[in-house]
Amino acid sequence: MENIKAPRGVRDILPDESWKWASIFDVTRKIAEDFGYREVHLPIFEQTELFSRGIGETTDVVEKEMYTFSDRSGRSLTLRPEATASMVRAYLEHGMASGPQPSKLWCAGPMMRYERPQKGRYRQFWQLDFEAIGSSSPLVDVEVIALSLEIFRRLGLSNLEVLVNSVGCPVCRPVYRSALQAYLGGHFESLCPTCQGRYDRNPLRILDCKVPTCRSITDGAPDVRDHLCEECRVHFDEVLKGLALIGAKFRIDKRLVRGLDYYTKTAYEVLSGDLGAQNAVCGGGRYDNLAEAIGGPHTPGVGFAAGLDRIVLTMEQQGLGFGKEPSIFATVVIADEGARDEGLRLLYELRKAGVPTDMDASGKGMKAQMKAAGAAKAAYVCLLGSSEVVKGVVALKEMSTGTQAEIERDRIVAELVLKAGAARC
């Protein structure tokens, strides 16, 4: 029988990588605290309507990329392709509007999209998702962008580019859409087939097409900023002013429209110069009409999602450290069977005292146990044979120097607690 493998585009995050993820979560959690965002855990599947109505029927995500299935009662459910719609659903469902506004929330978890897998693009990928729901202030847009940049700063990422734009609102976007269509209509035959398909349904997406002929056509396309209504223009100016005030470096990019329908006003993206084709490490913006689209009252909101897989890839590419890889501090090694029970007792005393400790469970010889201790990068080995048990001592070997000393059995746990504490500092 053929071995079963993980589905295409889906990968396992193995221990050599997952400790790096854990260190990024630690940094993120601290920044969330520093900015006053509280963590939530959201379901990984939702009613399909949440995404089709929230994200928009004509978006790539809804048209082509959702994992949708019927459950046993015939309900249409979808594995979440992103977290914003779920976050707004949770905000509405739990009456968070009655608390202090905006509600500042974050979550981390896997998202699922049926996309063509390639480096940095998977069918299950992880996002760090931050949302501030319930405020229309441009200062909250600034806060959200600043928060994402602070994550990258604390992780040490460099070679990033921050792109900012405004995609307008239901008042001014239709005006811009018509102006864009009028311009693109003159070049329709030269657009790629995908963009020809987008012309009626979603012409703004033509602006971020990567095909060279489409790009040279859109180079001359009207700029959304010339079509913003007064409210959107003032909002955008305030966002730009706030970003400049806090020293954020950014570039206004008229092509930036983002793939999801729910964006209004601010849209932004952070690109890495070290990732190749899939170079966006973070994207976000304002979505003042999303709550209404999913059946709630008008509720402004702004947020971002950063791709964890791509953050790790960029950090590796840039040779950045992830903090200290956790490893076993001590290994209990048994010289003979007469010491096994005492060894087991010592193992659990050390673990209870918070010293990361391991011991062979399969009856390996002493040489093999020592080798395993070396492979596990244990700092110390507690050697126990029948003679040590009788004498009431443990032979403590420091692996880096090879020096060995007899320590009284009653003192060994306290001694290792001290050493492990010092090693952590």
Q: Which residues bind ligand AMP (CB under 6 A)?
A: 82, 113, 115, 120-122, 125, 127, 259, 280-283, 305, 307, 309-310
**Structural element, H or E, at residue 406:** strand 404-408
State the nearest-atom distance from the C-beta of 110 to ligand AMP, in Å. 10
Minimum CB distance to ligand AMP smaller for 155 or for 413? 155
Nearer to ligand AMP, 128 or 347 (CB): 128
Least separation in angstroms between CB 112 and ligand AMP: 9
Residue 300, burial from CB neighbour count under 10 angstroms (0-12, 13-18, 19+): buried
DSSP 83: S
Nearest to ligand AMP of 5, 116 (CB atom):
116
Shortest Cβ distance from residue 111 to ligand AMP (Å)?
Answer: 7
DSSP 100-155: SSSEEEEEEEEEE-----BTTB-SEEEEEEEEEES---HHHHHHHHHHHHHHHHHH
Q: Which is nearer to ligand AMP, 283 or 301 (CB)?
A: 283
Structure tokens at 195: 């963009």
Q: Tell me the C-alpha to C-alpha distance, in Å, between residue 340 and each of 61, 334, 360, 384, 386.
A: 58, 6, 10, 8, 9
CB nearest ligand AMP: which residue? 307
**Least gap, CB of 81 to ligand AMP (angstroms):** 8
Residue 92 is inside which H or E element, if any? helix 84-93
Q: How far is the CB of 49 from ligand AMP (least distance, A)?
A: 19
Please identify, using beta-carbon distances, which residue of 196 and 317 lies nearer to ligand AMP: 317
The contacts of residue 199 (CB under 8 Å, 6+ apart) are 181, 184, 185, 188, 191, 206
Distance of alpha carbon 271 from alpha carbon 278, whole angstroms: 9
Q: How far is the CB of 263 from ligand AMP (least distance, A)?
A: 10
DSSP string for residues in 209-277: ---HHHHHHHHTSPPGGGG--HHHHHHHHHHHHHHHHTT---EE-TT---S-TT-EEEEEEEEETTSTT
Q: Which is nearer to ligand AMP, 112 or 355 (CB)?
A: 112
Min dist. Cβ of residue 391 to ligand AMP (A): 58
Cβ proximity to ligand AMP, 270 vs 382, nearer residue: 270
**What residues contact residue 247 under an 8 Å CB cut-off, 6+ apart?**
none
CB 381 → ligand AMP: shortest distance, Å?
42
Q: Given the complex with ligand AMP, which of 91 and 125 has the nearer CB atom? A: 125
Contact 216, 255 (CB under 8 A): no
